[in-house]
Amino acid sequence: MKRESLKGEKSPDKHADKHAADKQPAGEQPSAEAAFASYAAPLVDRAIEYAGAVREDASPEALHQLRVSLRRLRSLWWAFEPRLDKGENTRQRALYKYLATAAGKTRDWDILIELMTQNDTGAQAMAPKLEEIRSGALATSRETLSNADVKHLLRDALSSAAKELNTAHERVPLSKFADQRVAVSERSLRKRMKRASRAKRSNYTSFHDVRKAGKRLRYLLEFFGPVLHDSHKRTLKLLKQIQKRFGTLNDIVASEMLLRDNVALLAGSGDIEAALQWFRKERKRRMRSAAGLLRKL
């Protein structure tokens, strides 16, 4: 069972992330509008592939990779927001979030089970019930994704966005566009880090906002890295630190909440209060650790 905050979020296929800019003849500068499809199409294909895999594969990995692909799509559409119709862009990003949430409902149980198993918090006694609930969540995820017709939804979203960009009168050089969008994302991350550093320790939302902003910036650097004018090695090092520490915190907080919300379903299957106590202690420890990182950055 893997998850980005437990072992780092890896690209499902390293060879599929080659960008349009890499394929341009020397000296030629593609426009952002012309390059869009070469970024988006592989992500759409990958999301469709994993959505299909979820129908047959009950393992955590297929769900994880589907959610990663959808998050990357959402970040790409955010990057191209200035070049797309605002209303349509908002709807398409909401679609990716909806599908990722559908996959995430089962993934959340996977993370809870893994954390309890790794830290001896009563998972063995609760295992039958936890697996039963997880199976129910998987059935719901599969039904939601099947009813949504992921393949056609994503193909239509890609076609609509590509058509709009290809018919736009104005063209922006890809490298200029990439520099601008990465800069906006960096400012957003720094703003959220500053806000979180001043927030009360109990204000988890501000920490969660840092994690989301960091994840989006990392995706943009992965998309546009070859065409950016400046080196972002220092930023990538920062993002790696945030991903590790804030991702682990998110796992703990989300799992504690999930366990607390399902106490009734797990009644009689083990010492739930002991598990909740462990999560409370671990949450406080991880919050201190995340706050400590912000003070150093």
- Please report which confidence band the pLDDT of residue 20 belongs to, taking 50, 70 and 90 as the band edges: very low
Distance CA 82, CA 149 (A): 28
pLDDT at 66: 94
Give the closest residue to 243 by CA, choosing from 214, 217, 223: 214
Q: What domains are there in the chain, each with its CATH number?
A: 32-172 (1.20.120), 174-297 (no CATH)
End-to-end CA distance of the chain: 31
4 pLDDT above the threshold of 70: no
270 pLDDT above the threshold of 90: no
The DSSP code for 173 is B
The predicted-structure confidence for 160-187, as pLDDT tens digits, reads as follows: 999 999 999 999 999 999 999 999 999 9
pLDDT at 13: 45
pLDDT at 200: 83
Distance CA 131, CA 109 (A): 9
25 pLDDT above the threshold of 70: no
pLDDT at 60: 85
User: Residue 122 region, left (φ>0) first, then alpha (ψ -120 to 50), else beta?
Assistant: left
The predicted-structure confidence for 78-112, as pLDDT tens digits, reads as follows: 999 999 999 999 999 999 999 999 999 999 999 99
Q: Which residue would you say has higher pLDDT here, 75 or 267?
A: 75
Provide, rounded to the nearest whole percent, the portion of the chain with pLDDT above 90.
73
Give the closest residue to 91 by CA, choosing from 166, 48, 169, 153: 153
Give the closest residue to 75 by CA, choosing from 227, 272, 213, 252: 213
Question: pTM of the full predicted structure?
Answer: 0.86
3 pLDDT above the threshold of 50: no
**From 15-24, 96-105, 183-192, 213-222, the region with the lowest mean pLDDT:** 15-24
pLDDT at 28: 64
Segment 245-267 mean pLDDT: 94
Q: Identify whether the C-beta of residue 241 lies closer than 8 Å to the C-beta of residue 293.
A: yes
- Please report which confidence band the pLDDT of residue 18 belongs to, taking 50, 70 and 90 as the band edges: very low
42 pLDDT above the threshold of 90: yes
pLDDT at 23: 42
Segment 20-39 mean pLDDT: 71
Q: Identify whether the C-beta of residue 53 lies closer than 8 Å to the C-beta of residue 62.
A: yes
Structure tokens at 290: 């995340």
7 pLDDT above the threshold of 50: no
Q: Identify whether the C-beta of residue 157 lies closer than 8 Å to the C-beta of residue 84.
A: no
- Please report which confidence band the pLDDT of residue 15 belongs to, taking 50, 70 and 90 as the band edges: very low
